[in-house]
Amino acid sequence: MTHAPRPSKTTRRRLAFDTALGRCTLEYGAAGIAAVELPSRRPATRGRHLPAARQIARRIAQALDGTPVDFGQVKLDLSGVPPFHALLYATLRGIPWGVTLSYGELAARAGRPGAARAAGRALADCRWSILVPCHRVVASQGLGGYGGPGGLALKRRLLDLEAGASPDAVRAPPPRARPPAAPWPARARRSGDCARGATGTPAPAPA
């Protein structure tokens, strides 16, 4: 069987797939997931894709269909991301499905109390829609901002989607320790999943 080509350290591939909230693209390379865009009109890279990337795409589709999914184990390619931004993203990935918190609360959990504005700017720069759940961070009054291409309309849809599956969860619980992230595949293989713990019925395979 022909294996999917292994991405190099500098080459990234883009996988496009349909979800209940629109067409999505997942960009990945040897270091992990480099970006997730929703909605997206970016073209997909031709050829076969890593099984791990396809599995993550399926799980994103599951989440956007209303199935609670934890993406905390997915390996992100944080190349070029400032340390404070990376710290905020890691903190935010520990906030579970259906739970929200304020920009100030996120900054405080990351060890920077009083840095709510800086947290907002960091989330506006985030390039991992869904995998880093920026939509779960809201202003003290109103939704706040949302840097994804779908804008505030998508943020509201994501919050409504999660509230429907978890109506009683409204604020973030105390942080808890998480296991270390599973490694991104070092080489192409016929099966593999760097994002364990999926729930629900598998969504249709991405194109």
Residues known to be catalytic? 134
With CA atoms as reference, report the closest residue to 203 among 100, 72, 63, 88. 63
Residue 49 tokens read as: 């894709």
Q: Name the strands in the sheet holding 22-29, side by side, starting at the edge strand that comes first in the sequence.
A: 13-19, 22-29, 32-37
Residue appearing with tokens 């209940």: 20
Question: Residue 167 contacts by C-beta under 8 Å, 6 or more apart in sequence?
Answer: 98
Q: What 3-state DSSP class applies to 16?
A: strand
Helical packing angle, 83-92 and 116-124, nearest 10°: 90
Is there a contact between 188 and 3 (Cβ–Cβ < 8 Å)? yes
